[in-house]
Amino acid sequence: MSIETIPSLKGIHAILPDQIPAWLALEQTVGQILHQYGYRQIRLPYLEYTELFRRSIGEVTDVVEKEMYSFMDADDKSVSLRPEGTAGCVRACIEHGLLRQGAQRLWYSGPMFRRERPQRGRYRQFHQIGAEVFGLAGPAVDAEMLKMTWRLWRQLGLAGQVQLQINSLGTHEERQRYSTALVHYLQQHKNSLDEDSQRRLTRNPLRILDSKDAAVQVLLAQAPQLADFLGPESRDYLARLRVYLDDWQVPYLINPYLVRGLDYYCHLVFEWVTASTAAQNTICAGGRYDGLVTQLGGEPTPALGFALGVERVLMLLSAATVMMPAALDGYWIWVGEAAERRGWQLLEWCRDEIPQASWIGHCGGGNFKKQFAKADKSGARWAIVLGETEVAEHTVTIKSLRDPAVPQQTIPQAELVAYLRRQF
C-alpha cells in the first residue's frame, strides 16, 4: 500500500535549484544598485500584530479585508503573516528610534503572503525587494527613486519592456473632497456600475478608478478628475517632480486613474508596468506616504518607497533569456579504494586553496564509465580523475566536460591547485 504524498499549499511554491541562479543574479543586481544609492539593508519579521496592517494598509482594502493570513496567537492576540513590507519597516523604525537618527534609506527583501486567487504572476507566497526612505520631503528624492528603478530595468535589459506610470493623489484633504465629488457623480449612474464598483462606492470609492470594467471606464471618462481637486502646493510638487524626471531622461506617463490598492499614499504614486496585456503586469510599485509614521504612533516624518515583485521581474527576464552560469566547477572521479582515499584528500586541499570553486566528489563506487556518466549529468565543467595509475605515479588527470577541443591532461598532484587556479 503506498502512502499518500502531501502537496504544497495552492499558490505557495518552493524555488528549485535550477531557478536559484536567476534569483541570485537579480538579488545581486538590485542589491548593488541600492548600495550605489546609499540604501542600507534591514531584515524585518514575517509575523506582526494584525492591528499594524489594519491601521496602515487600511480596513477597507482587499489586502486587509480578504487576503491576510491571520490567526489568534496563544495569548489571544491576532497576528498576521506580512502581506507587504512597508508597515513592518515603519514599525521597526519607530520602535528602534531610527527616525531620530536623521534621514534613513532602507531596503529589505523576502516573502510576503496574500491569500489572492493564484494565477500566473500572482501567488499566495511571493517575494518583494522593497526600499523605503524616511525623513526627506520631495520631490528630488522621489525623482531619484524613480531614476534608480529606471537604472535597474536598463541594467537588466528590460528598458524596452516597461513603462512608468505616475499620478498625484494630493493631500488627504484634497483626496477627501475629490472622493465626495466622485461619489456624487457615480451615484447618478449607479445602475451602470458593476457589482464590485457598487460595493466600493460606499466603502472605498477611489478604487473604482482602477476598474477594468468597460462600462465603468466609459463613465469615468466623464467623471470629475482628481487633478482638478489638487491645491497649488500639490500641483507645484508634481510639476517640480516632472522637471527632475525630464532632466534625467526618465520616461513616464501620467495616469490620472492610478490610485493603488493600499490606503497610506499621498502625492506621488507610481507603477512600472509591462507592455503585456496580462492582468499581472505591474512589476514594481510605490509612492509617498507622509502620514503613515504618525498614523502608527511616530513623529511626523515624510516618507516614500516602492517594492518590486521578484517573481514578476524574473518572468520578464526569463522571456528575455538570461544565461545560466554552470553552477558546478568539477566532478571528482576515483576508481579503487586507494584512489578514492587520495582523491578525498586532494579535494579538501582544493577546497582550502580555491574557496570560490564548487566541487562534488563521487559517492557510491562504480567503474569509470558509470562515474563519467554522472559527471556529465552534473553539469560540471571539469572531471578530475584518479585511478590506479594516477595513485602509483602521484598524478591526477583533468578532462574538460564542456569543450572537446581542450585536451585531457595528466599532471603531478603537487601542481593540481596551481593548475586549477589558472582556470578561474
Beta bridge partners of 80: 48, 70
Count of residues making up the chain: 424
Smallest distance from ligand HAM to CB 87, Å? 8
Phi, psi (rounded to 5 degrees) for 206: -60, -30
Q: How many residues bind ligand HAM (CB under 6 A)?
A: 24
Q: Does 284 bind ligand HAM (CB under 6 A)?
A: yes
Q: Does 85 bind ligand HAM (CB under 6 A)?
A: yes
The span of 83-91, 165-173, 203-211, 376-384 binding ligand HAM (CB under 6 A) equals 83-91
Say which residue the cell 490610485 belongs to.
259
Q: Which residue in the set 84, 144, 263, 290 belongs to the binding site for ligand HAM (CB under 6 A)?
A: 84
Q: Does 282 bind ligand HAM (CB under 6 A)?
A: yes
Q: Does 395 bind ligand HAM (CB under 6 A)?
A: no
Q: Which helix (H) or strand (E) holds 214?
A: helix 214-222
CA angle 256, 257, 262 (to 5 degrees): 120
What residue number has its CB nearest to ligand HAM?
309
Report the C-alpha gap between 215 and 194 in whole angstroms. Answer: 8
Q: Does 259 bind ligand HAM (CB under 6 A)?
A: no
Query: Which residues have CB under 8 Å from 157's CB, separation 6+?
Result: 317, 320
Q: Which residue in the set 53, 134, 306, 334 belongs to the binding site for ligand HAM (CB under 6 A)?
A: 306
Q: Does 305 bind ligand HAM (CB under 6 A)?
A: yes
Which of the residues 191 through 210 are near ligand HAM (CB under 6 A)?
none
DSSP, res 133? E
The span of 13-21, 139-147, 300-308, 394-402 binding ligand HAM (CB under 6 A) equals 300-308
Q: What is the DSSP string of 150-200?
A: HHHHHHTT-GGGEEEEEEE---HHHHHHHHHHHHHHHHTTGGGS-HHHHHH
Report the C-alpha gap between 208 and 232 in whole angstroms. Answer: 26
Smallest distance from ligand HAM to CB 54, Å? 15
All three cell numbers of 266, joined, read 499621498
Strands (E), 275-336: 282-288, 303-309, 330-334
Q: Which residue in the set 61, 80, 86, 274 belongs to the binding site for ligand HAM (CB under 6 A)?
A: 86
Smallest distance from ligand HAM to CB 239, Å? 22
Smallest distance from ligand HAM to CB 88, Å? 10
Q: Does 88 bind ligand HAM (CB under 6 A)?
A: no
Handedness of CA 99, 103, 108, 112 (dihedral sign): positive
Which of the residues 53 through 82 are near ligand HAM (CB under 6 A)?
none
All three cell numbers of 364, joined, read 557510491
Which of the residues 105 through 124 are near ligand HAM (CB under 6 A)?
114, 116, 122-123
- Using CB under 6 A, list all residues that contact ligand HAM: 84-86, 114, 116, 122-123, 126, 128, 130, 132, 262, 282-287, 305-307, 309, 311-312
